[in-house]
Amino acid sequence: MYYVFFTGTAGSGKTTMVKEFQEYLLDQEMDVAVVNMDPAVERLPYTPDFDVRDYVDAMEVMERYGLGPNSSLIVSVDLLLTKATEIKNDIGNIEANYVLVDTPGQVELFAYRDTGRTFSSLLVGDSKSVNVFLLDAFLARDARSYVSLLLLSSSVRFKLGIPQLNVLSKIDLISKDELNNLLEWGQGEGLMDSLGVIDDYSFELVKTLVESLEVPPIPVSSPSRQGFDELYAELQRVLAGGEDYA
């Protein structure tokens, strides 16, 4: 069984991508299941095979403990850890070759608290896993924002400690020229010029960041499924060494 986590900043398109990517895999007769790990999501466009809200619901936590929206989210994500064994068992009972895992809206809730690392290693056990990190292309079209998002991606990669693929989401929202810039930057070209004058610290940081990119971010648009073939090919490369696993 392969686990594919989807992480990224709030609103970067995780839930939409999980829904469309599930349908894309189903259309190819793949055996795929979906897990919702976001205790605060109100509505889902897909029917999850496992829904973490069955264990912890952020709305209920907010009412029960009289918390505000942010603290109830933090408490909810931490509470998941107390249910880790049950959640692991439930997810372990899912029968599918691919399990797509939708994570909480704010990436820091999943990645920077113990929950993310616990679930990305505990859930997966001996199975292989990969984290798809979404960089919102509409934000990333600005060079400084692109670098900031890549830094966030590296930080998540380091914290979760599993292989990671970067995806440029929502490319239908940017112009051809903006996309070309992003593709060039992904190849390590033109980024310094686009950044303009930067201090020595930032220069070294960007240089290291660009050099450490194993695979350029994959441009994707979920509604049209543009880029899904490339994303699938990369997932296969990381998870199965290129072999199809239908």
How far is Cα 228 from Cα 239, in angstroms, rounded to an integer?
A: 16
- The answer to the question of residue 129 lying near ligand GTP (CB under 6 A) is no
> Nearest to ligand GTP by Cβ — which residue?
105
Q: Taken in order 68, 7, 16, 217, is the CA torsion positive or negative?
A: positive
Near ligand GTP by CB under 6 A: residue from 13, 39, 48, 217: 13
- The answer to the question of residue 173 lying near ligand GTP (CB under 6 A) is yes
Near ligand GTP by CB under 6 A: residue from 31, 172, 230, 234: 172
Choose one: 52-60, 88-96, 219-227, 229-237; the region binding ligand GTP (CB under 6 A). 219-227
Near ligand GTP by CB under 6 A: residue from 1, 15, 135, 150: 15
Footprint of ligand GTP on residues 132-171 (CB under 6 A)?
A: 169-170
- The answer to the question of residue 69 lying near ligand GTP (CB under 6 A) is no
Angle at 209 between CA 37 and CA 195, to 5 degrees: 110
CA distances from residue 9 to 32, 79, 92, 139, 157 in whole angstroms, order as listed: 25, 22, 27, 11, 14
Near ligand GTP by CB under 6 A: residue from 1, 3, 5, 16: 16
Near ligand GTP by CB under 6 A: residue from 2, 98, 100, 105: 105
Near ligand GTP by CB under 6 A: residue from 221, 228, 235, 239: 221
How far is Cα 7 from Cα 131, in angstroms, rounded to an integer?
A: 7
CA distances from residue 1 to 99, 113, 224, 231 in whole angstroms, order as listed: 7, 25, 27, 18
